[in-house]
Structure 1
């Protein structure tokens, strides 16, 4: 395993000349590099497999913390609002990682073609987990990453290798999490329908009765199952989406906090400011000012 991890360090290092996350020639594969410990970064973790080959990272989902490094791999099976932070990295030994995105249809295709149990268990699982990295999984990931340096092979081999990687994860102890999201009609799949609705309508008033009808559940079952998968209620999930989008708008557009509050669905600017401060630690204007100053300092370093 050490030999393959060292190979991944070399491969990813050659294709990441600066800090940040970059796409590769394989559409679903991304590399990340950071030369130092980062501030907490807020964003949406889409369905994906993540492997750190050098350094360490922590991810916060609601009040739960997930730590992972080169001995582990990390999977999100649904879209989740998270806070991520690189916790171990230096300029000499930068944080290096990869992310492979996937869809429920890819998981379903593997289940249909394999001898794996096609029935999802009744009990739901959290839509995010960290597990120990096995040699078969690491081997399949290494072969996929090698393709970045063989562009002509990517169209034919990348889909096959991606399928092998997902198959390996399905065989692992937490494979049930991926199986649940792929099987239509399972509770996890129905919760994913509710997640997608909130993602697409986060700026609108959330009516629990309509959301429960969409998920084909009672309101009480929706709340219970939604929290089991996402670690938060539908309202808390929507709030995270609203505040992350508000922060993005404040950083990238010339607009004031009141306008942004209304854009993301708040009816009260004062409530927006209170909830923004609770999540990000500072009122909107002060937070954005500090973020821009930190960015300028990093850029000029």
Structure 2
């Protein structure tokens, strides 16, 4: 069954990863080893059909192997490393409204144990779920079927997820007064305002949590404190801008919220092992070689 899913992904994935005409479906197909990559994961679930992926967020790490599903419940800056290739996966960006409506229909809102602490959870897929995900991806073979069937199959996938070991996690998605929901909102706020000074007291008050409680729940979910989370977002964006070559290190440091260029250089080197300019030049060289190799194979 995983072979059918991997084959469907191969037929429709453009490049290493691509969106599709099926709403909320993203495909990933990687044949050759690549450098560990910094990404900002949104709430989503990754269905792995082949290869092995490790994601690291702060002190937390998850490994997803063929037949596994990796659920991310919060906006999360991660480092992704493909430990085994070729790698194939189908990614569903979670529609919170559709999930909530399904929970209401099943009368299962809030009827579960407390959410596991981590913002990422990995579990094996049942055969019925693999089949549903495969049919969802295979809609790309018959575009005329996408509009009438995509939402229905997506609902089936959510239903089967609720019946899986991830069900208790998903049932905690909608309660507005849960610590999980508050932490997710805090993370979303930091993502939108990461260049600004961060006041833990103000954010904790807005989330109706004490600073100590916010710190505890936030670190449990993301593997890092709110301040380190903000720093990860700043450094990821700084690295992206430096590799693009649009500005100097000093200009990038200011753009992502650093007042001190010295502090930026120190924290960047601590995170990536090289000063900003050297690291960006090395990454650009590797990207050029990778694109050249891909062109030659094509």
* TM-score normalised according to structure 2 size: 0.94
Give yes or no for contact 1:68–1:130 (8 Å, CA) kept in 2.
yes
Unpaired runs of 5+ in structure 1?
none
Residue of structure 1 equivalent to 2:238: 246
Give yes or no for contact 1:53–1:96 (8 Å, CA) kept in 2.
yes
Deviates more, 1:259-268 or 1:57-66: 57-66
Alignment counterpart, residue 97 of structure 1, candidates 75, 84, 89: 89
Aligned residue for 1:182, secondary structure, equals coil
Residue of structure 2 equivalent to 1:15: 12
Question: Is 1:109 matched up with 2:101?
Answer: yes
Give yes or no for contact 1:44–1:81 (8 Å, CA) kept in 2.
yes
Aligned mates of 1:123, 1:203 — CA distance in 2: 30
Aligned mates of 1:121, 1:138 — CA distance in 2: 25
Deviation, structure 1 residue 143: 1.4
Aligned pairs (5 A) from 1:101-250: 101-116=93-108, 118-119=110-111, 121-122=113-114, 125-250=117-242
Deviation, structure 1 residue 111: 0.6
Residue of structure 1 equivalent to 2:75: 79
Aligned residue for 1:130, secondary structure, equals strand
CA RMSD of aligned residues (A): 1.5
The alignment covers a number of residue pairs equal to 293
Residue of structure 1 equivalent to 2:21: 25
Deviation, structure 1 residue 82: 0.4
Residue of structure 1 equivalent to 2:296: none
Residue of structure 1 equivalent to 2:57: 61
Deviates more, 1:233-242 or 1:176-185: 176-185
Deviation, structure 1 residue 253: 4.3
Alignment counterpart, residue 43 of structure 1, candidates 31, 39, 55: 39
Give yes or no for contact 2:5–2:133 (8 Å, CA) kept in 1.
no
* CA-to-aligned-CA distance 1:117-140 (integer Å, 9 cap, x gap): 534545652111110111121121
Aligned residue for 2:173, secondary structure, equals helix
Aligned mates of 2:198, 2:175 — CA distance in 1: 26
Aligned residue for 1:37, secondary structure, equals coil
* TM-score normalised according to structure 1 size: 0.93
